[in-house]
Every structure is written in C-alpha cells, then in structure tokens.
Chain A
Amino acid sequence: MESERQIPIWFFIGGLLGFYGLLILGTGVYGLFDPPNVALAYLHADIWWSLLMIALGAFYCIRFHPFRQRR
C-alpha cells in the first residue's frame, strides 16, 4: 500500500484537511463581523476548529511529504 514510489495516503489527507481548514477559517473570520445564524455562534467554533484542522493537515503534509519519503 505504501511502497517507496507511492505518495502516502497521509499526505493526501493532510493536504485536504489543510485546504478545508483555510476555507473554514476564512468563513470564521468573516463571521466575526457577520455572525452566522446558528446556536452558540459566539463561541466561534469555526475558527478554533479550522485551526485544529490546519495544524493536523500541516503535520501530515510535512511528516509524509513525498520528498521526505524519498530521502
């Protein structure tokens, strides 16, 4: 599954989580000025949740980057 030539699945996951995290962070920052019509909006869950996604995504992207794997 993870032969030397193959990009690890974790890299794809990291990339997708990071991208989604950035999108959600953007909507979260926008929501600071125009809060969404949902319960507990004042907790700004989208901001801290997206930061968590970006952190995990970055970890997977760096740890399982194809160049790093080849070395």
Chain B
Amino acid sequence: MTNLLLLAAADGAPQRLLSIGPVDILIIVVYFLVVLAIGFYLRKFATTGEDFFLAGRKMTAWIAGLSFISANLSSLETMGWSAMAYQYGMLGAHAYLIGAIPAILFLAVVMMPFYYICRTHSVPGYLKLRYGEGARSLAGVSFAFMTVLVSGASMFAMAKILNLLLGWNMSMSIWVASLTVAVYVFLAGLVSAVFNEVLQFFLIWFGSLLIPILGLIHAGGWNRMMDTIKENVKVIHPTVPNADFSHLWSSLGSFDTNPMGIDWFGMVFGLGLAVSFGYWCTDFLQVQRVIVARNLRAAQNGTIIGAVLKMCVPLIVTIPGLLGLAVLANPDGSPMVLVPESDPRAMITHRTFNDVLPLLMGQYLGPGLLGLGVTAMIAGFMSGMAGNVSAFATVWTYDVYRPLLNRTASDRHYLAMGRWCSILGVLLSIGTAYALFFFSNILEFLQVLVFFFIVPLFGVVILGMLWKRATPAGGFWGFLAAILVSMGMWGFVHWFPDGHRPEPKVLLKIKEVETSGGETQKMLPVVALEKETDEAGREKITKVTVESGLVETTNAPIQPYAMVQPAEFTVSAGGAELLPSIPGKEKPLLVKVLAPEVSLAGTEEKGKFGVEGVPVVLKPGVEVKAADITQRFNPAEFNPEHTKYVARSEKAKPMAVNMYSAFWTLLVSLGVAAGVSLFTRPKPNEELKNLVFGLTPLPDEGPCPWHQRPGLWAAIVAVVLVAINIIFW
C-alpha cells in the first residue's frame, strides 16, 4: 500500500457495507416469527427423551442429508470459505472435494453401520461401549465445552458482522438471535433444530445462488474471469504474484507455486485424511444428524445425499471468492484490494477478506433479494448455534450427567435436564460471546479449538472400529496424548523464543475530552499532507505532518527521542519526526501510518488514509503514547522458524499449518492407541459385538431396489469427485 491516498471523506462511524429497506426488514422479521412458530408447533411431538435428543429416530434420508449438510453450512462457513477462495483461489474448493467427500462416503459406507447398530446416542456414547468410561468422559466433557465455546464464538462473529454490515447493535443481535434459538430448542430439541436446518438450507441457496450467476455474467464467463484474476492478483496479492489461483492440483508440486504455501502431501494427508475424516466422521454435531435416521439405509443414503450437496457448495462459496478477485473494483476502475483481519489497514482504508461475500451482495442484490441474503446469513448463524446447543444438551445429559452424576433417573427427568441444558448452553454461549468483546484475540483460538479434539477422537474411534485388539487403556491414552500434542503444536508455531516484534505502526487517534458542561467531545488529529501525482495520474502521500492531536506508536522510533520507550509525552519545541522505515532482519520494515479519521489542516474537511514508508513530522504540542512491544507468544502470528518443522515449509500459510498439524495429531492418536493396546488387555469378543469390524453382522433390511443401494450411489459420487478434480486439475 505504498501511499494509498484518501479513500473517502470520513464520517466518524464505520461505513456500512449494506443498506437495507423496509421489505428487507419484513423478510427478516418473518423468518424469526416462522422459526418460533415451528418451535411452538413441534413441542407436542417432543414428549420423550428419544424425541427430544434423537428426533424420535424417524428422519427420512432426504431430511437427514439436508440437515447433515446444513449443520455444516453456517454463515461463518460461507463467508469464511469465500474469503479463503479470495485468498487462496481454487485451492479453497478442496475443502468441498477431497476435504469432505471421501470422508463423508467413508462415514456412510464404513462407519455408519457401527454407529447405527450399537444404537448409541452420541459419539462419546460409542467410546463408552468400545473403550469404557474413561475415554467417554474425556470426550463428553471436552465436546460439551467445545460446543458452547464455538457456539459463543459464532454468535460474537454474527453480531460483529451485522454491526459492520448493517450498523446493528451487537448486544441486541446476540440476545435476539440467542433467545430465539433458546426458545425453539427448549421446546422441541433436535426436532426443531433439524426443521430449521432444512429451512436454512433453502434460504441459503436462494439467498446466495444469484451472486455467482450474476457475477459470472458480469465477469464475461468463466474463462474471462480466470484471465482477469491472473492480471488482478499481481495487484491484490503482491506477495504471491506468480502463484496459480485457477487450478486444484497443478500448483501443488511445491510450496512456492501456490498461494497457500502447501504441497500435495499436506493437502491429501492433512486436509483429505486427518482434518476431513476427523470432522465428518466423529464430530458429533455432524454425526448426530444422520444416526437418528429411521433405519440404517436411510442413515447411509442421507449421508450420501449430504455428500452430493456438499460438492455443490463451491458454487455459492468458491465462485464468489474468485469473483471478488475479478469484479470488485474501486471507483477509478482499479481492482479492489481486500486484506486479512490482522492487517492494520483493515477497516480503515481497506475492507477485509471476510467482506468479499457481503461486498458482492451489495453489488448485485437489490431490495428484497438483499433481505433474503441477510436472512440467510442470520439463519445460518442461528441454526449453527441451535445445532451446537442441541448437541451440547445430548452429550451433557447422556455422557456427563447420567453416567457421572445421576444414573437412575427417569426418562422424564433426563428430558427436563436436556431442555434446561439447552437454555444453559445458550447462556454459556452468550457468556462466551461477551467474553470475546474483551478478548477478541482469542477468536482465532476458538475457531481452531475443534481441531484439538476431533482429530484425536477420530484416531481412536476408527482404530476401535477396525481393530478388535484396541484396548480401553489404548483408547484413553491415545486420545489424551493426541489432544496434548495438538495443543502443543499450536503453542509451538505461535511461540517466539527470540521475541516477536509487531510491525512498526503509527496511529493518529481520536481523543475524547470532557467539556465544562460534562459532555464528551471528539478531538481529531489535525494533519497536513504533502502529495505528488504518479505516472498513472494517482495522487500519493509523500509526507505527513501532524499539527495537533494524539499519536500512538508501536515499535516506531521517534527522533530525537530515539527508543526511550514506552513513554507518554508531549512533543517539545523543535518538534519530532518518525522515520519512514526501521532496520529488519532481511529488509527494512516500512512504518505504517494509519489515520481512521483526521481533520485536514487549513480546511474544514475530514479524511482518512493509510500509508507506509513516508516520514511523519510531529509539531510541538502533539501528544504521543509510544509503546515498545516484544512478544513471546502471539496466537495471531506464526513463527516461520517453527512452522517449517510442523508444515515442512517456512512459507506455509495458516491453513497449511492447520492441515499438517492435524496430520501429525492423527498419527500420534493412532500410534499411541495402538502402542498402548499391545501392552494392555483387550476386551473379550463378546463385549465387542456390534462395535468392531468382523464382530458386527449387518442387519437384513429386506429387499432393496437398485436405486436405493448406498454402495451404488457412493460409487457414483466418487466417480463424479474424480471427474471434477481432473477437469479443474
């Protein structure tokens, strides 16, 4: 961003991305009324524990499949993976292909019979049957806490997004959405959660599918869009100007030729095996949707329907991300550059990667359609929370409360416990969301939390299903060791033994002062800007002079005060100057100057800008708060010296590190579980019936027409998967 000039006149408030009208509001209100009405209507059908926790085990294959995929299709997913496609190009689509389909088919064909025949209520319930109480308790407690934390993080993200997009009050967003979820899950449990997930599926598709259709028309078709992307990435992603954004596999021969900094091995074994199988085969939020189908065949076919639908999701997720690289433009016609959330320019002079989908919504969707899109977004967040809360209620009641606290209560008692757990889960989620107001830097941590538990869980579950020699001690220690290793690797890549110094930054800050009348008044920094016009006719800032106001600096030396920091002082007579750059390890680090809102000296105008590598002069009287920061640990930054051991490359991006971490975690889970099993006593075969391969006879469900055979459809989906990968190789 060498000297990007004023983007717009600042109005003091964050600019809203979307502006909605009365029809849009009506669409949103109707959605809330409908989900509440469904909750009240379904209450009479949730009269037993099986109804409340397992939807009565009556779901058809289609409802199971739609619910299975909707539970995963939250708004964090659609917005997040559109952002991934903007950042990583076609590689983002792997999450819907090799990163999902083989695992879903494996769940349908191989694992579902075990889950279904042992009639377990949950994945931790299977661990109890297979390994005993120790592994179940560890899985139950970790899953219960993980679900409410993730659910709270999702609520916080929703409130933040609605605030940024529409200017809505964050507390109001959290409470209205959470209480609505609490009401309908309290009333009918999994039944209403599933109803709303199926409803959400249709809303998401009708609210989102127009964007790729109109976007591709706008871009001139697929090939022209790819040609435009090739040109635009030189401007948008200058650190990887030659990386290939348009193929799935051809750029994965080395770490250098793709924007993710990963190779094919990490993609196949990290994403395709560890992350994908862990998530789809053992995350109870997902598995719960299909193990409650009305028979084994419906459970298997529902899962395969889910696989087909999953393969379609790139249409509304990956293509919008790619369109962001091709059709989003500044008023002067240049490509619009979006930045990561962690970038200091984020929300001042630049929108973030996560805004790519809302930006496209604002670009193409008029009144009514925009309301539908926003409703789909809210529905996605709410149904994600409902899924987490209903899974929390089930696991807490059946895998923590019943075995550990009250073994002999009646079904009516457990039903009441489940209902109140739903409320508790919502309240804990709200608490987590509010905690994130103060500790928003742990949001990233919460989003990777799921990897700490589900990949270790998959290792011990699959070993237990396929190897009858696996012992209770092996299952417990394999699970625990892998959780610890997973957490350890996460800490390792974010640890900086030599100290991490955040990049030098100068923030021209608004100061709030209290007037004699007791009112708070905003005082903007007053600045004078020197500019020059480049060959392309664009104005660039070459020098910033701060006449008055408050300036905060981080790791930016101030002449003549040098590095006597941290300090708070007022610039004395003679003034001071911030250098445009400081020495770095490999090259000089440019000092960023960020001004969210300033007064322009000599005029009545306000403005905002972000520049780097320009001198900043501080006039006498300017207040300075200088900070000198060196961190040993930063959850938002990766230490390349450490990532090269985990992800085999210093160039690995966060996604690549996550994939490799998951792979090593899976190896530890399998290795420790198998190793300990060899030295401990296994369960007798009689106790492993219906739990382990070779000891589980499949039930005869009667004659089955060819078009209902799970094996046939799984094979067809696998062929289509291979074909898509070849076409976009």
Contacts and interface: CB of A to CB of B under 8 A. Distances in A.
A45 B214 contact: yes
Query: By CB atoms of chain A within 10 A, which of B23, B202, B362 has the most?
Result: B202
Contacts of B56: 1, 3
Contacts of A24: 23, 368-369, 372
A40 B368 contact: no
B206 A17 contact: yes
B227 to A, nearest CB: 20
Interface in B31-72: 31, 34, 38, 41-42, 45, 55-56, 58-60, 63
Interface stretch (B86-94, B193-201, B409-417, B650-658): B193-201
Contacts of A38: 362-366
B368 A1 contact: no
Contacts of B218: 39-40
Interface string B184-216: 000000010011001100110010001001100
B366 A46 contact: yes
A28 B210 contact: no
B720 interface: no
A61 interface: no
Contacts of A41: 366
Interface string A1-35: 11101110100110011011001101110010000
A31 B60 contact: no
Contacts of B366: 27, 31, 36-38, 41, 45-46
Interface range, B side: 35 or more
Given A27-B23, A38-B364, A39-B218, A1 B369 contact: no
A12 B194 CA distance: 13
B367 interface: yes
Given A9-B195, A12-B34, A12-B195, A53 B58 contact: no
Contacts of B58: 1-3
Interface string A41-52: 101011001100
Contacts of A27: 23, 366-368
B724 interface: no
A16 B34 contact: yes
A39 B363 contact: yes
B55 A1 contact: yes
Interface centre among A3, A20, A24 (most CB of B within 10 A): A20
A49 B363 CA distance: 17
B715 interface: no
A27 B25 CA distance: 13
A33 to B, nearest CB: 13
Contacts of B23: 23-24, 26-27
A46 B369 contact: yes
A49 B212 CA distance: 13
By CB atoms of chain A within 10 A, which of B41, B363, B366 has the most?
Answer: B366
B63 A1 contact: yes
B217 interface: yes
Contact of B364 (A19, A20, A39): A39
Main secondary structure of the interface of A (DSSP, over half): helix
A63 B482 CA distance: 51
Contacts of A45: 210, 213-214, 364, 366, 369
Contacts of A3: 45, 56, 58
A50 B700 CA distance: 46
A13 B218 CA distance: 31
A40 B34 contact: no
Contacts of B206: 17, 20, 49, 53
A63 to B, nearest CB: 13
B404 interface: no
B194 A1 contact: yes
B59 A1 contact: yes
B30 interface: yes
B436 interface: no
B26 interface: yes
B27 interface: yes
B199 A12 contact: yes
A53 B94 CA distance: 30
Given A1-B63, A39-B364, A9 B199 contact: yes
Nearest to B64: A1
A36 to B, nearest CB: 3
Given A1-B59, A20-B27, A12 B369 contact: no
A68 to B, nearest CB: 17
Contacts of A9: 63, 195, 198-199
Interface centre among A1, A9, A23, by most chain B C-beta atoms within 10 angstroms, is: A1
Contacts of A43: 214, 217
Contacts of A28: 368
A31 B218 CA distance: 20
A53 B214 CA distance: 17
A2 B198 CA distance: 13
B364 A23 contact: no
A9 B197 CA distance: 10
A1 B191 contact: yes
A20 B372 contact: yes
15 contacts: A1-B59, A13-B202, A16-B30, A16-B202, A20-B206, A27-B23, A28-B368, A31-B367, A38-B363, A40-B364, A45-B366, A49-B206, A49-B210, A50-B368, A53-B206
Given A38-B365, A39-B218, 12 more contacts: A1-B56, A2-B58, A6-B42, A16-B31, A19-B30, A24-B368, A26-B368, A36-B366, A38-B363, A45-B364, A45-B366, A49-B369
Q: Which 8 A-B pairs have the closest CB atoms?
A: A36-B366, A27-B368, A24-B368, A1-B59, A1-B58, A27-B367, A38-B366, A39-B363
Interface of A: 1-3, 5-7, 9, 12-13, 16-17, 19-20, 23-24, 26-28, 31, 36-41, 43, 45-46, 49-50, 53
